[in-house]
Amino acid sequence: MNVKLTPHFNHHITVLCGELLRDKIAEHEHVAEAQWISREQALAEFQEHSGLGEALRELPDNPLPGSILVTPEMIDKDTLVALLDELKNMPKVEQAQLDLMWIERLAAILQMGDHFIFALSVLLIAALLLVVGNTIRLHIENRRVEIEVIKLVGGTDGYVRRPFLYMGVLYGLAGGVLAWLLLAFGLEWLNASVVQLAQLYGSEFSLSGVSLEDGFSLLLGAVLLGYIAAWLAVARHLRELLPR
């Protein structure tokens, strides 16, 4: 996030002292960059952007304080507030500013996205279990006579179950590949809107694509779900196919 913290110093701080404090802040573990802005530099920038150059030149003294523009690392809100408190307690600091409102809004939006993804994942898991279970059930019904004959001649439940478990694994793998593709295209489609929204809050946040590690984890999870769904379906229906 493009977050900035700005500690403002009293008017008695010297340039040397300000630069020393800047170097000290830059060494902080949660600070990515620190830039010293002298009173003269602050006045020049304010004159350039405010359009009040003539009025400011009439003032007997420069009213703007020296400050340090602090860019923190990618940290959470609580750590950011703790860093702000540290800056406030530094010597010669009169006040330190941080606009938390947009940070909280963006964090709420991202949290809502996490909840949506979690809910969608639960629905997809339930759908995969139902689809694989019902598909295996239909295959068992279609091979009912064959299974009964196998059991009559001494075939074990494990022997009967094995091909259906393989089938469940294949269905799970196919579902995982489809989910990977849909997720990749969905993230790519949403990314432009997310980037535009984040820029409104001064952030460089964007959605990353599905990594190979995440993709293979998705496939493994889908295969396991397919196996479990097939096992449950076969275990249930084999009890109904007792040899007559």
CB contact burial 21-44 (16+ within 10 A = b; e otherwise)? bbeebbeeeebeebebbbbeebbe
Nearest C-alpha neighbor of 68 from the set 28, 2, 9, 11: 9
Query: How confident is the chain (244 residues) per 10-residue block, as mean pLDDT?
Result: 76 85 90 88 76 64 83 79 87 78 68 76 81 86 82 80 90 88 81 71 65 86 90 82 55
| Domain-wise residue ranges, the chain | 3-98, 110-239
Cβ(72)–Cβ(83) below 8 Å: yes
95 vs 68: CA distance, rounded Å: 11
Give me the residues paired with residue 35 across strands.
69
- Single-letter amino acid, residue 203: S
Q: Is 113 helix (H, G, I), strand (E, B) or coil?
A: helix
Cβ(36)–Cβ(66) below 8 Å: yes
What's the pLDDT score for residue 44? 81
What's the pLDDT score for residue 149? 83
Helix (H) or strand (E) holding 126: helix 101-142
Looking up tokens 């993804």, which residue turns up?
A: 117
Q: Which two tokens stand for residue 205?
A: 């946040």
DSSP at 52: -
Q: Which CATH number fits domain 3-98: 1.10.1760.20, 3.30.70.3040, 1.20.1730.10, 2.30.33.40?
A: 3.30.70.3040
- Single-letter amino acid, residue 46: F
